[in-house]
């Protein structure tokens, strides 16, 4: 009988969001009159901006006319979008990229989940702790994680992000092949300074590692000395792949558009003494297993770079960041520690003494009908914290803050 991929059988069930949903449902049943407000989910709530809506309507009309209809587009994305990305996201920050180093897709989760296919099956993977689970699970499926025991995957290299290191992971003690970094970070909302990120680039060059740099929350960076792209750092094009998304930048979580940068300078071992460019491998992967992002969605993404579109999406992000600021203040006023929230839509809040992260989750739910995400759900180093998100509406956030203040 045909056998399944054993890697899938090693996956741990992800109880986190199932468990949260279960507890919230029970609370609602017991408290039918109470409005539950979620600060737990990392999803946008504000509608698509007018420039994007107009671009979609225009593109839909084109697709309904014989003279303008388009069939299959390039697997790598249309040149008009790749040029807008190269110009606005890179050239404007002093980074020169060729458009064929940019691959447009339907989402960063797809890109990040699929990218590990390009590496040898015995590659050693490093992840931060706490961590976005896709980095781990996609490698478990590929057989790179070893068995799971005592809360750890045996072959993974863990990089703890704690208050003691200011949530900046220390360089690994044993050399990994692939290193996943996410900044601005999900779940902690913290960022890496130019110096800290240069340290990772230098390490990767010295040790011959690849950095898989997830920058899905780049649009939230406000402070001037935080790099917006890893390619602002010296030598990064030789060692780093950068993942970006329109999901949080422009509210595209339901439209699905993202891109990944794979510089031509990034070359790895072919295992026989030669080198091979990762760009050509990703191109072949996408041409074989992907058929491009919808034309109408790529037109919507291009509209984000128009003068009108930029102003509109920046206003939306300012709104979310204002939510974050108000939430940070409210949590601080509860005499709890707060990290993140300045350059990111996520707030990493310390829990009160004597509680663990699930305990504080229960407390917020039962006492204030507020939903957060227990930090322990993102890995052992997340214990002692909860994640709050700033993606709610202005009204819901204001009400959440009133409830937090009433808890003091």
Residues 151-210 that bind its own copies (CB under 8 A): 177-178, 208-210
Q: Contact with its own copies (CB under 8 A): which of 22, 26, 61, 234?
A: 61
* Cβ(65)–Cβ(281) below 8 Å: no
The residue range among 2-10, 160-168, 229-237, 305-313 that interacts with its own copies, by the rule CB under 8 A, is 2-10
- Binding letters toward its own copies, positions 325-364, x by CB under 8 A: ----------------------------------------
Q: Does 228 bind its own copies (CB under 8 A)?
A: no
For residue 211, the Cα-to-chain-centroid distance in whole angstroms is 15
DSSP-based three-state secondary structure for 181: strand
| Residues 20-59, interacting with its own copies (CB under 8 A) | 43-48, 50, 52-53, 56-57
Give me the sign of the Cα torsion angle 250, 251, 256, 262.
Answer: positive
Q: Closest CB to its own copies among 47 and 147? A: 47
Q: Does 141 bind its own copies (CB under 8 A)?
A: yes
Q: Does 288 bind its own copies (CB under 8 A)?
A: yes
Residues near 391 by Cβ (< 8 Å), separated by ≥ 6?
A: 41, 42, 43, 44, 45, 320, 323, 345
Task: Please give the Cα distance from 149 to 146 (Å, whole number).
Answer: 9
Q: What is the DSSP letter of 351?
A: P
Q: Closest CB to its own copies among 133 and 359? A: 133
Task: Please give the Cα distance from 359 to 353 (Å, whole number).
Answer: 11
**What minimum distance in Å lies between the beta carbon of 58 and its own copies?**
10
Q: Contact with its own copies (CB under 8 A): which of 276, 334, 336, 355?
A: 276
DSSP-based three-state secondary structure for 302: helix
Task: Please give the Cα distance from 405 to 368 (Å, whole number).
Answer: 10
Q: Closest CB to its own copies among 50 and 352? A: 50
DSSP-based three-state secondary structure for 249: helix
Number of residues that bind its own copies (CB under 8 A): 81
**What minimum distance in Å lies between the beta carbon of 165 and its own copies?**
25
**Alpha-carbon distances of 377 from 12, 141, 147, 368, rounded to whole Å:** 12, 20, 19, 21
Q: Does 3 bind its own copies (CB under 8 A)?
A: yes
**What minimum distance in Å lies between the beta carbon of 211 and its own copies?**
10
Q: Does 64 bind its own copies (CB under 8 A)?
A: yes
Q: Does 268 bind its own copies (CB under 8 A)?
A: yes
Asked if residue 184 has a cis previous peptide bond (ω within 30° of 0), the answer is yes
Tokens encoding 394:
């202005």
Q: Contact with its own copies (CB under 8 A): which of 120, 311, 398, 407?
A: 120
The residue range among 108-116, 322-330, 361-369, 374-382 that interacts with its own copies, by the rule CB under 8 A, is 108-116
Residue (of 199, 195, 194) closest to 179 by Cα position: 199
Q: Contact with its own copies (CB under 8 A): which of 163, 284, 318, 405?
A: 284
Q: Contact with its own copies (CB under 8 A): which of 37, 81, 95, 118?
A: 118
The residue range among 185-193, 291-299, 322-330, 347-355 that interacts with its own copies, by the rule CB under 8 A, is 291-299
Q: Does 71 bind its own copies (CB under 8 A)?
A: yes
The residue range among 19-27, 193-201, 267-275, 321-329 that interacts with its own copies, by the rule CB under 8 A, is 267-275
**What minimum distance in Å lies between the beta carbon of 385 and its own copies?**
23
Question: What does the angle CA 182 – CA 185 – CA 190 come to, to the nearest 5 degrees?
Answer: 135
Q: How many residues does the chain have?
A: 408
Give me the sign of the Cα torsion angle 188, 194, 195, 199.
Answer: positive
């Amino acid at each position: 009988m045909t056998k399944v991929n054993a890697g899938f059988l090693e996956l741990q069930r992800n109880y986190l969001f199932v468990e949260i949903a279960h507890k919230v449902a029970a609370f609602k049943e017991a408290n039918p009159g109470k409005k539950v407000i979620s600060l737990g989910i990392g999803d946008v709530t504000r509608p698509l901006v007018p420039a994007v809506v107009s671009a979609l309507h225009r593109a839909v009309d084109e697709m309904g006319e014989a003279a303008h209809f388009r069939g299959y587009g390039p697997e790598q994305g249309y040149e008009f979008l790749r040029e807008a990305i190269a110009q606005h996201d890179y050239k404007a920050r002093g980074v020169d990229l060729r458009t064929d180093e940019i691959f447009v897709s339907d989402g960063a989760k797809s890109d990040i989940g699929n990218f590990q296919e390009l590496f040898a099956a015995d590659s050693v993977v490093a992840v931060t702790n706490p961590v976005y689970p896709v980095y781990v699970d996609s490698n478990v499926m590929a057989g790179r994680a070893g068995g799971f025991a005592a809360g750890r995957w045996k072959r993974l290299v863990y990089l703890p992000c704690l208050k003691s290191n200011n949530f900046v992971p220390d360089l690994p003690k044993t050399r990994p092949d692939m290193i996943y970094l996410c900044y601005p970070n999900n779940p902690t909302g913290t960022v890496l300074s130019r110096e800290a990120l240069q340290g990772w680039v230098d390490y990767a060059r010295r040790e011959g590692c690849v950095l898989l740099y997830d920058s899905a929350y780049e649009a939230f960076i406000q402070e001037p000395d935080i790099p917006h792209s890893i390619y602002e750092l010296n030598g990064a094009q030789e060692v780093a792949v950068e993942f970006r998304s329109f999901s949080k930048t422009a509210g595209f979580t339901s439209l699905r558009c993202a891109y990944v940068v794979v510089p031509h300078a990034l070359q790895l071992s072919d295992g026989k003494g030669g080198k091979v460019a990762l760009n050509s491998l990703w191109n072949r992967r996408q041409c074989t297993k992907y058929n491009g992002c919808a034309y109408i969605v790529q037109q919507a993404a291009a509209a984000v770079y128009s003068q009108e579109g930029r102003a509109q999406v920046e206003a939306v992000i300012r709104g979310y960041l204002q939510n974050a600021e108000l939430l940070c203040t409210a949590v601080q006023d509860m005499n709890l520690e707060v990290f993140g929230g300045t350059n990111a839509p996520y707030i990493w809040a310390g829990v009160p003494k004597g509680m663990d992260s699930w305990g504080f989750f229960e407390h917020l739910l039962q006492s204030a009908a507020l939903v957060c995400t227990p930090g322990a759900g993102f890995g052992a180093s997340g214990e002692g914290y909860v994640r709050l998100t700033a993606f709610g509406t202005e009204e819901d956030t204001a009400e959440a803050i009133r409830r937090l203040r009433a808890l003091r």
